[in-house]
């Protein structure tokens, strides 16, 4: 990728090649993550999981994707059509753009912006808009419920997430993701800021609507939440976005806390992926172990515990930096 971009010698070409690479990565990654989730879940549940298609069911998700593409796109009669059609696209685009600034290694960055982390956080917030669009336009009470819950949840968890990230940025003094990684060439920030790491993982789980915070799609209450009325490829886009969001949240955790591409022997990009998938495994582990929290308890947790803790962490960080 790097070579091609250099030979073309222009920023535009680099972006185009990068975007194509990102789309390929997103698709392959989502297929892999869905397979991984099924395997992780299965092994935690005393069963083998998909085994039939390909070695250990590796091709199963590809077949699922093909099946979903072949499905009829049902548009229920009373939906708000333009918004209903737009929602799956709107959820997917910001997810793609977030990849532009993720530093896979010291050279594998499509565009190393000086506001990288802000860009990712801003785009990840956009997903709530499409959830609201999907829920509202579906004309289904369960879907509206899911959408409303999702908005409340995302607003509540955005704040501690941002405050937590701020404490890292204070330490580095830059919004640039590559700078943050370079600053961790010695000690990873997870050792310096363990509380921030825990806060970040908690908030990221809530932000990506993963169990135990998967309230918007709590199937025992809301059937399938905001995407109840979606079928075929539109549903697949929501699904794809969910897993890609998970990847981005884990990638940000890797960059902020786990030293990004740093690591001995192996090339940086390999280390980066190892760390990302380790964090993703952690999120999957949560999902298949914990019951779901109740909605009001979830919001209480954020406003009464996480936000004060995040501020305390930020203050301590600022104080230590000032005294040093």
Partner 1 sequence: MIELLGIEEKTYTLNLGPQHPSTHGVLRVLLEMDGEFITKAEPVIGYGHRGHEHMAENRNYTQFLPNLGRVDYLHALAYNQCYCMAVEKLLELKVPERAEYIRVITCELNRISSHLLWFGAYLMDLGAFTPFLYCFDDRENILDLLDGLTGSRLTYCFFRFGGVPVDIDADFVAGCRAFVSRLRSRWDDYHNLVTKNVIFIHRTRDVGIITRDQCIKYGITGPNLRGSGIPYDIRKSEPYSAYPEFDFEIPIGSTGDIYDRYIVRLAEMEQSLRIIEQACNKLPEGPIMAEKVPKRIKPAVGEVYQAVETARGEFGMYIVSQGDVKPYRIKLRTPSFGNMSIFPEMAQDNLVADLVANLGSLDVVIPEIDR
Residue ranges binding partner 1 (CB under 8 A): 41, 44-47, 141, 145, 211-212, 214, 218-223, 288-297
Please, what is the minimum distance in Å from the beta carbon of residue 223 to partner 1? 6
Q: How far is CA 143 from CA 157, 287, 300, in A?
A: 21, 22, 23
Please, what is the minimum distance in Å from the beta carbon of residue 42 to partner 1? 9
Over the chain, what HEC string results? CHHHHHHHCCHHHHHHHHHHHHHHHHHHHHHHHHHHHHHHHHHHCCCCCCCCCCHHHCCHHHHHHHHHHCCCCCCCCCCCHHHHHHHHHHHHHHHHHHHHHCCCCCCCCCCCCCCHHHHHHHHHHHHHHHHHHHHHHCCCHHHHHHHHHHHHHHHHHHHHHHHHHHHHHHHHCCCCHHHHHHCCCCCCHHHHCHHHHHHHHHHHHHHCCCCCCCHHHCHHHHCCHHHCCCCHHHHHHHHHHHHHHHHHHHHHHHHHHCCCCCCCCCCHHHHHHHHHHHHHHHHHHHHCCCCCCCHHHHHHHHHHHHHHHHHHHHHHHHHHHHHC
Please, what is the minimum distance in Å from the beta carbon of residue 39 to partner 1? 14
Please, what is the minimum distance in Å from the beta carbon of residue 155 to partner 1? 16
Half-sphere exposure of 124 (CA within 13 A, CB side): 32
Q: Closer to partner 1 by CB, 66 or 296: give it.
A: 296
Please, what is the minimum distance in Å from the beta carbon of residue 292 to partner 1? 3
Q: Closer to partner 1 by CB, 156 or 258: give it.
A: 156
Q: Which of 264, 260, 235 is nearest to 183 (CA)?
A: 260
Q: Closer to partner 1 by CB, 7 or 220: give it.
A: 220
Q: Closer to partner 1 by CB, 78 or 219: give it.
A: 219
Q: Closer to partner 1 by CB, 212 or 232: give it.
A: 212
Q: Closer to partner 1 by CB, 11 or 219: give it.
A: 219
Please, what is the minimum distance in Å from the beta carbon of residue 290 to partner 1? 6
Residue with tokens 């879907």: 143
Please, what is the minimum distance in Å from the beta carbon of residue 114 to partner 1? 40
Q: Closer to partner 1 by CB, 251 or 284: give it.
A: 284
Q: Closer to partner 1 by CB, 184 or 209: give it.
A: 209
Please, what is the minimum distance in Å from the beta carbon of residue 237 to partner 1? 23
């Amino acid at each position: 990728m790097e070579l091609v971009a250099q030979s073309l010698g222009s920023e535009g070409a680099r972006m185009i090649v990068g975007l194509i690479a990102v789309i390929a990565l997103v698709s392959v990654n989502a297929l892999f993550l869905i397979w991984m989730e099924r395997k992780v879940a299965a092994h935690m549940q005393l069963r083998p999981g998909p085994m039939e298609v390909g070695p250990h069911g590796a091709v199963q998700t590809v077949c699922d994707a093909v099946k979903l593409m072949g499905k009829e796109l049902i548009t229920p009669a009373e939906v708000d059509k333009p918004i209903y059609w737009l929602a799956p696209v709107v959820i997917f685009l910001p997810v793609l753009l977030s990849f532009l600034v993720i530093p896979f290694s010291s050279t594998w960055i499509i565009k190393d912006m000086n506001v990288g982390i802000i860009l990712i956080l801003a785009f990840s917030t956009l997903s709530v808009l499409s959830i609201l669009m999907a829920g509202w336009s579906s004309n289904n009470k369960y879907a509206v419920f899911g959408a409303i819950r999702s908005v409340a949840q995302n607003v509540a968890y955005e704040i501690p997430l941002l405050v937590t990230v701020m404490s890292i940025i204070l330490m580095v003094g830059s919004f640039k993701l590559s700078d943050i990684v370079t600053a961790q060439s010695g000690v990873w920030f997870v050792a310096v800021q363990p509380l921030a790491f825990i806060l970040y993982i908690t908030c990221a789980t809530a932000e990506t609507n993963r169990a135990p915070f998967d309230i918007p799609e709590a199937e025992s209450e809301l059937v399938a939440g905001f995407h109840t009325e979606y079928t075929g490829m539109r549903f697949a886009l929501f699904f794809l976005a969910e897993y890609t969001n998970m990847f981005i949240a884990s990638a940000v955790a890797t960059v902020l806390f786990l030293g990004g591409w740093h690591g001995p022997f192996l090339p940086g990009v390999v280390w980066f992926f190892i760390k990302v998938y380790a964090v993703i495994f952690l999120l999957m582990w949560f999902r298949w172990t914990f019951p779901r929290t109740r909605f009001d308890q979830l919001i209480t947790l954020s406003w009464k515990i996480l936000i004060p803790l995040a501020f305390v962490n930020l203050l301590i960080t600022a104080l230590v930096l000032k005294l040093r």
